[in-house]
Chains A and B, each alone.
Chain A
Amino acid sequence: NAGVTQTPKFQVLKTGQSMTLQCAQDMNHEYMSWYRQDPGMGLRLIHYSVGAGITDQGEVPNGYNVSRSTTEDFPLRLLSAAPSQTSVYFCASSYSRLADYYEQYFGPGTRLTVT
């Protein structure tokens, strides 16, 4: 199993550009989520999904969209990049939709810089 994979590993965007961060898992996990991690801050939840076709907002959803058309994939779209979105983005999955009680498996992260 590859686990949770994320692409790209690094990305530089100009303000106003849009892009999609890809996330895939091959563990048949129900729950998937996106976090951002900034210096001096804990991981903050952006969006999450408890199954295909179901998504919901986390703590910091503004400026981001998600969709979950398959169990495996959970892409994160930046609609119009802003310097405040410079961060490290982690995708995570958990085998149960009762994700609060089970291990989160994280992808390797995408380091995004917005200039």
Chain B
Amino acid sequence: RKEVEQDPGPFNVPEGATVAFNCTYSNSASQSFFWYRQDCRKEPKLLMSVYSSGNEDGRFTAQLNRASQYISLLIRDSKLSDSATYLCVAAGYGGSQGNLIFGKGTKLSVKP
């Protein structure tokens, strides 16, 4: 089975801190990667796609390392509202659809 592994946390950090999550994927054929955010008892929502060259969206930076098969998410200047579970997703194994593999999520708690 194709796997995506994440540290479940929780990561407890103070407001303003920088926090980084890593995720590893087992299938080297994966072609697309995402980070989703899931608030407690809510549906997942796309936070950002992860591109080979790395990409940044405000306080969030995503990196992809294909050689080591890991994806990272860096959150700078953490806000209370960043408290959520962050899901790593690997997909696109070529050909068939429905091959998004979700990690179990990393829980972040930002404290005042």
Residues of A within 8 A of B (CB): 31, 33, 35, 40-45, 48, 50, 56, 58, 90, 97-101, 103-104, 106-109
Contacts and interface: CB of A to CB of B under 8 A. Distances in A.
Interface in B33-59: 34, 36, 42-46, 49
A104 B100 contact: yes
Given A41-B104, A42-B103, A101 B91 contact: yes
Interface of B: 4, 31-32, 34, 36, 42-46, 49, 87, 91-93, 97-105
A108 B97 contact: no
A107 B43 CA distance: 6
Contact of A106 (B45, B93, B98, B103): B45
A58 B91 CA distance: 13
Nearest to A31: B97
A100 B104 contact: no
A42 B97 contact: no
A104 B31 contact: no
Contacts of B44: 43, 90, 104, 106
A90 to B, nearest CB: 6
A3 B97 CA distance: 22
B101 A42 contact: yes
Contacts of A108: 42-43
Contacts of A40: 104
B43 A48 contact: no
Nearest to B44: A106
A42 B104 contact: yes
Given A42-B104, A107-B43, A108-B42, A33 B98 contact: yes
A43 B90 CA distance: 12
A44 B2 CA distance: 12
